[in-house]
């Protein structure tokens, strides 16, 4: 019987190449995870930066409006209007008309406007307005039973 020679060096080479390829694959996968994680962090950071930039823009607009309001409050016109409203002051030669207020603090005109707006117009008035004043029809909404 002949002894078979087994070449361990060829098997060792194949195992070494396989392990080397496995190591390379593991490094590529790990690098991919790291890159994806950094991209996600970068995206979130950019969103946060955009949010803060929007907030800065809003605060600048609010600051601008408040500074304009402050300038208006310092004008002579504003002081005169406030003196007339709150203190009841008037210029020489002016007469002041005071309208009585109702119990709820509204004038008669304000109360009349509210009652007119709360009561719907009669049907004949709606038709008259539609035909002669060329007003658009009111929006009609249909509801489904469900």
Give a yes or no: residue 4 inside a domain.
no
Q: Would you say residue 39 lies in a domain?
A: yes
The DSSP bridge partners found for residue 107 are 101
Q: Read out DSSP for 90-102?
A: --TT-----PPB-
Q: Is the pTM of this model over 0.85?
A: no
How far is residue 26's CA from residue 36's CA, in Å, rounded to a whole number?
15
Instruction: Give the count of domains, the chain.
Output: 2
State whether 68 and 42 are in the same domain. Answer: yes
> Has residue 112 been placed in a domain?
yes
| 36 located within any domain | yes
pLDDT confidence band for 124 (50 / 70 / 90): confident
Residue 67, domain extent = 10-93
pLDDT digits (tens, 9 = 90+) for 28-80: 999 999 999 999 999 999 999 999 999 999 999 999 999 999 999 999 988 88
CA atoms of 132 and 120, how far apart (whole Å) = 19
Q: Is residue 144 part of a domain?
A: no
**The predicted structure's pLDDT at residue 102:** 57
Residues 77 and 108 in one domain: no
């Amino acid at each position: 019987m002949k002894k078979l020679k087994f070449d361990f060096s060829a098997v060792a080479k194949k195992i070494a190449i396989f392990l080397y390829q496995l190591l390379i694959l593991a490094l590529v996968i790990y690098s991919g995870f790291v890159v994806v994680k950094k991209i996600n962090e970068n995206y979130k950071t950019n969103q946060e930066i955009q949010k803060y930039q929007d907030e800065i823009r809003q605060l600048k607009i609010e600051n601008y409006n408040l500074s304009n309001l402050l300038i208006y409050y310092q004008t002579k016109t504003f002081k005169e209007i406030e003196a007339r409203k709150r203190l009841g002051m008037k210029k020489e030669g002016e007469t002041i008309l005071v309208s009585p207020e109702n119990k709820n603090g509204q004038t008669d005109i304000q109360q009349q406007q509210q009652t007119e707006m709360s009561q719907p117009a009669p049907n004949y008035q709606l038709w008259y307005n539609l035909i002669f004043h060329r007003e658009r029809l009111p929006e009609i909404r249909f509801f489904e039973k469900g």
